[in-house]
């Protein structure tokens, strides 16, 4: 999905007349390579495409992405010259704050969430706690550890939805009926659950309602969207249901705009604005709600780098062209840096007044 979103963004920028577009591919082997921005997805089936050039990310002032260039006296490194990196990485270190922190250290401007917001929104346990602390409806979540006792929630039918604590909105999610099986699932320690598992009551009658939000040039919401389950789908929308329909979320079946009662739409709109302010929206996000008939709803999660950058939601009365979305994200990255360093308190006074290290240890 990251490759598809990146190629869409690169192609849209090229089509809009940007002659300076460069593309960086983060391979499965954790290497960075420079590739042509107009490639098709098929070029990446076997990994880095032909003609890719090795890059090195230097995370320190004056850093960034460097490429080697052969010379008479040996290879010389040259810094890639660009002013903003459009981050299209979904999940993992590209969306959980890891890449963001490295780019901050390198002094590279980038789109999407800053490191703190990325980390918060990727942590389902912490994000749920922040939502509840703000007084918004959220289903209770429990960190599942070896030997954890059943939570005894008042709501739900005794069935649990189990998710990786740090992960996206689809991979590694299971619906499990027995608590003992929930604990066993947590103990498996697979690639998606090794960093922890959270459980919450499964609401079988609830359906998803999504909305995209951006904070620049002004705070704004897209249309609300209700993803639809294909015939024969399981109890929840799987990765395949969402993303393997040809164009990812763009081609997944949906009700757009979602048919919501006016009162419910206002409640969700207000909640989305609150969540965006709480987490520090930057770039284009997608906020996911769970809704039941009768008007009951809960904040589920935030996707800070959604598939296709949620461009399909900015239509109808909330129409914003994809090239405009990208231009605004780039403008935000230029004008509102993700982090600003300060040296207050670093004048050496604490060092001059300090006793010996030995005394501090004693």
- Summarised one tens digit per residue, pLDDT across range 65-89 is 999 765 555 567 899 999 999 999 9
Q: What is the DSSP letter of 108?
A: -
Q: Both tokens of residue 113? A: 């969430």
pTM for this predicted structure? 0.89
Task: Estimate the crossing angle of helix 115-122 against helix 124-133, to 10 degrees.
Answer: 100
- At which residue do the structure tokens 């300060």 appear? 342
CATH topology of domain 140-202: Dna Ligase; domain 1 (3.30.1490)
pLDDT exceeds cutoff 60 at 248: no
Q: Give the pLDDT of residue 30.
A: 86
Handedness of CA 96, 99, 100, 104 (dihedral sign): positive
User: Where do the structural domains in the chain lie, given as residue ranges?
Assistant: 2-117, 140-202
pLDDT tens-digit readout, 233-245: 666 655 555 555 5
Q: Residues 260-266: what's their mean pLDDT?
A: 95
Whose CA is closest to 282, among 113, 128, 159?
113
Q: Give the pLDDT of residue 245.
A: 54
CATH number of the domain located at residue range(s) 2-117 in this protein: 3.40.50.20
Q: Residues 139-149: what's their mean pLDDT?
A: 94
Q: Is the peptide bond before 3 cis (omega within 30 degrees of 0)?
A: no
Domains 2-117 and 140-202 are alike in CATH topology:
no
C-alpha distances (whole Å) from 242 to each of 211, 226, 257, 356 are: 15, 12, 17, 60
């Amino acid at each position: 999905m990251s490759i598809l979103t990146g190629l869409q963004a690169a192609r849209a920028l090229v089509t809009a007349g940007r002659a300076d577009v460069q593309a960086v591919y983060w391979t499965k082997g954790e290497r960075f390579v420079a590739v042509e921005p107009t490639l098709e997805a098929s070029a990446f089936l076997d990994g880095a495409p032909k003609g890719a050039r090795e890059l090195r990310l230097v995370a320190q002032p004056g850093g960034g992405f460097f490429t080697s260039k052969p010379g008479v006296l040996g290879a010389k490194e040259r810094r890639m010259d660009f002013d903003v990196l459009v981050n299209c990485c979904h999940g993992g270190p590209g969306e959980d704050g890891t890449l963001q922190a490295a780019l901050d250290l390198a002094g590279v401007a980038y789109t999407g969430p800053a490191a703190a917001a990325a980390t918060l929104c990727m942590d389902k346990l912490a994000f749920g706690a922040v939502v509840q602390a703000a007084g918004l409806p959220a289903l209770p979540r429990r960190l599942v550890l070896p030997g954890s006792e059943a939570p005894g929630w008042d709501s739900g039918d005794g069935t649990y939805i189990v998710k990786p604590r740090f992960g996206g909105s689809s991979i590694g999610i299971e619906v499990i009926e027995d608590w003992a099986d929930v604990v066993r699932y947590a103990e498996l320690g697979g690639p998606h659950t090794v960093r922890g598992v959270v459980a919450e009551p499964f609401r079988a009658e609830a359906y998803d309602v999504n909305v995209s939000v951006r904070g620049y040039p002004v705070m704004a919401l897209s249309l609300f969207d209700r993803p639809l389950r294909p015939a024969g789908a399981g109890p929840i929308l799987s990765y395949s249901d969402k993303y393997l329909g040809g164009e990812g979320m763009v081609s997944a079946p949906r009700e757009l705009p979602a048919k919501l009662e006016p009162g419910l739409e206002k409640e969700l709109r207000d909640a989305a604005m609150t969540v965006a302010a709480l987490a520090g929206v930057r770039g284009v996000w997608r906020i996911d709600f769970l809704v039941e008939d009768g008007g009951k709803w809960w904040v589920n999660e935030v996707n800070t780098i959604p598939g296709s950058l949620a461009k399909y939601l900015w239509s109808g009365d909330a129409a914003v062209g994809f090239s405009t979305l990208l231009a605004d994200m780039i403008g935000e990255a230029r004008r509102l840096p993700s982090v600003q360093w300060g040296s207050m308190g670093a004048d050496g006074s604490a060092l001059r007044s300090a006793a010996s290290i030995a005394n501090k240890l004693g």
